[in-house]
Structure 1
Amino acid sequence: MDLMEARSRIEEIDMKIISLISERSDLALKVAEAKRIEGGAVRDEEQREKVISRAIDKAREYGLDPEPVKEIFELLILMNEYRQWQIAEGD
């Protein structure tokens, strides 16, 4: 694989990542609606820790540095919490 092919493949992967982030965000809206109906809080520390722990374990399994993966997942969680807070406040 030459440089251009590698960059093209990276671009394809980047687009898939963005699509998956969008799908994850859409699911966060469904979670927010369920929490609103059930009276749950937006921030769920136990679930947050499960998600981050799972991401760290999977990063290690793939031979990745777990710290940046942890930071990525913390950001994803914050993005979803922000959307959930917007729904909880009726925006």
Structure 2
Amino acid sequence: MSQAGGEEEALQMELARCREEIATVDSAFITLLSKRVALARQTGMLKQKLGLSILDPQREAARIRVAIASARAEGLDPESVREIFWHILGLSRKAQYSEKR
């Protein structure tokens, strides 16, 4: 096998390893997201019992600020992370409203 062929094979193996690791991280992310939604449902029930509103703009804004700061510390694009967390908060809010019925 030529040196170039051996290098390409090594690169292909590294690519496969990276993709496998990404799949593992994606799976862990879904597991954590599921846990977050379950906690949001529980939060919704507690808010209902306490007579509190599901919507809590100050809390949501604080969570977004923390996410943005963490993103910056990790070298991630803060605006992209803000958008992702906005969607996650929306999913959590929806779960809380579903418990209100």
Please indicate, yes or no, whether the TM-score normalized by the shorter chain is above 0.5: yes
Q: Identity of counterpart residues, as a percentage?
A: 33
Alpha carbon RMSD of aligned pairs, Å?
Answer: 0.9
Deviation at 1:37, TM superposition (A): 0.4
Structure 2 residue corresponding to 1:66, chosen from 78, 83, 89 = 78
Q: Which amino acid in 2 is paired with 1:17?
A: F
Equivalent residues of 2:44, 2:96 under 8 A apart: yes
Structure 1 regions of 5+ residues with no counterpart?
A: none
TM-superposed deviation, 1:83: 1.3
The answer as to 2:24 corresponding to 1:19 is: no
Moved segments of 4+, more than 2 Å: none
Counterpart AA for 1:41: S
Partner residue in 2 for 1:33: 45
Count how many residue pairs are aligned between Structure 1 and Structure 2: 89
Measure how far apart 1:84 and its partner are: 1.1
**3-state DSSP of counterpart to 1:2:** helix
Gaps of 5+ in 2: 1-12
Which structure has the greater CA radius of gyration? 2
TM-score, normalised to structure 1, is: 0.94
